[in-house]
Amino acid sequence: METAHDEPSGAAAAPPWWRDAVFYQVYVRSFADSDGDGVGDLEGIRSRLGYLELLGVDALWLTPFFTSPMADHGYDVADPRDVDPLFGDLAAFDRLVAEAHEHGIRVTIDLVPNHTSDQHPWFAAALRGGPERARYHFRPGRGAGGELPPNNWTSVFGGPAWTRSPDGEWYLHLFAPQQPDLNWDDSDVRADLVRTLRFWLDRGVDGFRVDVAHGMAKAPGLPDLDPAVVPVLTGAHAHPVEDPRFDNDEVHDIHRMIRQVVDRYADTVTVGEIWVQTDERFARYVRPDELHLGFNFKLALTAFDADSVRRAIDNSLAAVAATGAPPTWTLSNHDVERHVTRYGGGETGTRRARAMALVQLALPGVVFLYNGEELGLPNVDLPDWALQDPIHEHTGGRERGRDGCRVPMPWEGGGPTFGFSTGDRSWLPMPSDWASFTVESQLEDPGSVLSLYRHALEVRKTVEAFDGEELEWYGAPPGCFAFRRKGGGLICALNTSDAPVPLPPGEVLLASGPVTSSDLPPETAVWLV
């Protein structure tokens, strides 16, 4: 509920709950299916809240469950203030939030301000030539007959960022053609976002994950980009959204507007998906009057190598040092290959992922876990017929897309859905050999990845050694590192080399694999006090 912001001056405010929170990302389609249609839904999530409490997470981030034709699995929103029937209804959402809170778990949801679905009523009206056209970016084409796109921007998903509408003009979409970009100069677009924020805040959500937080404001005049100056972070495309010219004042104005609404509700948080080129530009978004937190993908892009991981940690800490915001840590999400696979897959990938889990959970700040990583799920190499990600289609099959990290959660029993669905199908096929990954099979096994996460999350929450936000590095043998949390004194040591090294002094709290009293084995991490 809305609260006034008039704390007595001079009262020492307790740190906000999210400063060291563990968020758990629920990819809604893939978490739990309650109605047997093969697609995860809100009731499914509600039915698994006991598990999430047992796991020990503080908050959920739910990916989009809003009304959508699902061209990008919900990131194409046709009505931002309703639930798609595929996922449930508003009553189911209210039940989920209320029960999550009873379990001591906060609920944050996705906000998709950069674009709508092409099935949004505004876009339909825009195509009919209505005044709603001003809420998108329509432009005449180039060439004698306007047959060429207005500029050279490419879509993040492949192909041009422009599609010609039946009346001959082109509209801009940084993602799929079914995701037309909104024009943030338009006051109706802004007013509608405020309505959306208040709608969900009034229903009790604890905050928002802001999709494409860096992309809403376009370079004035929509100029051609020099492909040579556009860095290519992923895939083979120039990403207009990563061009420095997008980081103009207007985008920050939007974030300030969001923050003003969110700040009227107690204990809320916003986290931005910010893909920009430099830490300096990243830090501009994370401010007392803009986003509380920014996603940090550095660990998700770093190899299993102590020097590289240490560099990623140092750079991450430096990136937010001047902002006053805590760092955030992510190993996987619904857009990238799962890290077990990235680290080599199989037993090697699992061993390394276990070690990195202890590194991630030892760091000061905010952790984002992606559903299934607590089970050690690998990426799945899906057959062509099963692929659904628009990236696969828009790159003409050159890229396989992100389906492999979105395969549903195995809960119990056997195939084909391992308890994911009450029916016998899942929207992406689940590998027939996943019985050993199920929650059921891992819960009672003290050596499972799930047991490691449960144990680590509990220790992280209850042991004072995790206090404080500063860390210091120790000298360590090649291929290894050790850091200490300055406040509480926790030591985390990682060995990425292929030989055992001496264990730092201290009492072992937890290890990612078998350790002796004197040795830290290869590809292992340990917590000591």
Q: Which residues are catalytic?
A: 211, 273
- 241 is an interface residue for ligand NOJ by CB under 6 A: no
Q: What is the C-alpha separation between 123 and 173, in angstroms, rounded?
A: 12
- 211 is an interface residue for ligand NOJ by CB under 6 A: yes
- Residue 211, contacted partner among Mg ion, ligand NOJ, none, CB below 5-8 A by kind: ligand NOJ
Q: Which of 33, 58, 72, 181 binds ligand NOJ (CB under 6 A)?
A: 72
Q: Which of 55, 71, 86, 212 binds ligand NOJ (CB under 6 A)?
A: 212
Q: Which of 175, 184, 208, 453 binds ligand NOJ (CB under 6 A)?
A: 175
496, 330 contact by CB (below 8 A): no
Residue whose entry in the numeric block shows the structure tokens 């891992």: 442
Q: Which amino acid is at 324?
A: G
Which tokens hold the place of 242? 């990563």
Burial label for 301, CB within 10 Å (0-12, 13-18, 19+), is middle
Q: Which of 99, 335, 393, 440 binds ligand NOJ (CB under 6 A)?
A: 335
333, 368 contact by CB (below 8 A): yes
Which tokens hold the place of 157? 């998903």
- Residue 175, contacted partner among Mg ion, ligand NOJ, none, CB below 5-8 A by kind: ligand NOJ
Q: How far is the CB of 215 from Mg ion (least distance, A)?
A: 31
Q: What is the C-alpha separation between 44 and 83, in angstroms, rounded?
A: 14
- 403 is an interface residue for ligand NOJ by CB under 6 A: no
Q: What is the C-alpha separation between 389 and 517, in angstroms, rounded?
A: 48
**Beta pairing class for 471-474 and 480-485:** antiparallel
406, 336 contact by CB (below 8 A): no
- Residue 41, contacted partner among ligand NOJ, Mg ion, none, CB below 5-8 A by kind: Mg ion
Q: How far is the CB of 471 from ligand NOJ (least distance, A)?
A: 29
Q: What is the C-alpha separation between 463 and 458, in angstroms, rounded?
A: 8
- Residue 75, contacted partner among ligand NOJ, Mg ion, none, CB below 5-8 A by kind: ligand NOJ
Q: Which residues pair with 164 in a beta bridge?
A: 170
- 242 is an interface residue for ligand NOJ by CB under 6 A: no
Q: Which of residues 247-276 bind ligand NOJ (CB under 6 A)?
A: 273
CB closer to Mg ion out of 39 and 317:
39
- 162 is an interface residue for ligand NOJ by CB under 6 A: no
- Residue 58, contacted partner among Mg ion, ligand NOJ, none, CB below 5-8 A by kind: none
What is the binding site for Mg ion (CB under 5 A)?
Answer: 33, 35, 37, 39, 41
Q: How far is the CB of 428 from Mg ion (least distance, A)?
A: 13
The CA–CA distances, whole Å, from 341 to 322, 338, 347, 401, 415 equal: 34, 6, 10, 15, 22
Q: How far is the CB of 174 from ligand NOJ (least distance, A)?
A: 8
Residues 6+ away with beta carbon under 8 Å from 239: 154, 156, 230, 231, 232, 233, 275
Q: Which of residues 98-117 bind ligand NOJ (CB under 6 A)?
A: 112
- 337 is an interface residue for ligand NOJ by CB under 6 A: no
Q: Which residues bind ligand NOJ (CB under 6 A)?
A: 72, 75, 112, 175, 211-212, 273, 334-335
